[in-house]
Structure 1
């Protein structure tokens, strides 16, 4: 068994040990695409075989779509990465208080350097009753406005890395406000449709969806009404591989400038950043690592019932997506196995 086959097998084993019933591993290497599907969409007689179009929740992998949306709008001249976020929020909304002369800019939100906390103030109180299933569901627009009024940024924006669902969620809200479209509609118009992504969406749809599981228990679909840009995107393995392929060869897509821009390193990450190692860099949301002379770009995501990994290597024209319908394990083995598939593919 070669390195890629061994890594794929390890990913499937890791997902199975965490109670997944459906696993998809999609690989582009040596000019060939393969979407491997294992298991069924859930437990019980209504479950169907997992296919390349079976949709999984992507969790924080959604943030890479938001970064591409930001870059696409910047390329169209609709906004600038250096634009302060305050000017893009609704006029009657409060803005985070910043204790420095430097405002929070869109670039800060896309690089986790805004100084905003990981979660909005007040979210935990609404999340606790549904902590193991749908913790964001009760955090609506009214509560987001209240959170903004309670937010104070004490460090200078742009100075320090601090991973923030709140920040990227707020970025999506700002982009939607500038375009006067809901985030899901805007993403479809500017990114999903131009890339030809057929199964990718921000809401549960009528197509074949896997059922999420946590510790073997089936969960309802994930809802994140106030912060969809941080974690609401869903996709099948075939679509996700198509999305990654566009990053390898941006020219045919109409989003060439934006796809190049999201790959430009912006800052060096501390070794304590999620999934990072000393020397890693952050682009627009994407993590960047030099490994054996290769540039690897990657990100992971999870909801309560799903785990996702995606990565690509432009020099070798390699892309990998790994999806499982079980929540992230503490040992991170499924995500690490997805990363090992990326490392092994194309060697």
Structure 2
């Protein structure tokens, strides 16, 4: 096993261990779920909090032939780090770095006429064609072009620009609203609209390299949605997109991040002792308290106050009272681990520790948010960097 961190002279206060072997295995498992399609590993938001560049490299090594980001800045950073191959970015605002994206050979998403006009102008300035993917709003109601006259106009003008050598329409795509809710009627409806919009564009002469709509839940459960490419976000990191669909193990996935900290203090207190701000927790009797040096400034949800689970010396503990900015307390029930003992907030779960899904349930949110919100004060420590075998 290899491990890489910034040089240090003292033990880490806390760490998010990122298992790149697990990530590579997840990518291979996802490829097996969609054997007829290419896989795009989505590494937006610093790879859902795991670290974009190391995770992108691991995903490519495991066979992901595309990388996906939300913002162009995220995609350009991958290019600057030397990531080759196809990289797509989709969240644009007027005046964005279109020319830089074209020169970096990124695939850019276009949802409306203003974006098409800006990318065409940038292509003229760069004196090279842009790689453009037209996004269809099939029912999510966020980005994407509306069906009907708007889509017809966008396709027409994209084909006009393509004929002038200013762009190449490399893809047609959309995004599900409820693929994580099995049987939701919007799933079939969106698939039907997507097929219609793709059929119209192709009937007008668009020849896309890829057509794609499947996100993580659709990749795992809707083979009819796979088309030419699947975009796997949270599943790449070994987290189920929905407990209703199954656990990570049900899909052959393993969580990649383990978050832990060293206990900063263990002390005896009497019964009736208030703990943390507001005294929302008062010790029911004489006990020991452990201080965990992580707080909401590190991404620990304040909504998990009095609820978040932590493994200390083989036992689950629960946060006692409110999560503060930099720390929280657990009631150790009289046990006396040494200061510096490991407090594991979440991980794969196979060593008895809580999982990100357990934290999501405690905080009333989704596991996506739990891993993505872990802040930059928590060092990422990468293990198993070498390719398997």
Greater gyration radius: 2
- Give TM-score scaled by structure 1 length: 0.25
Structure number with greater CO (CA < 8 Å, separation at least 6) is 1
TM-score (structure 2 length as normaliser): 0.24
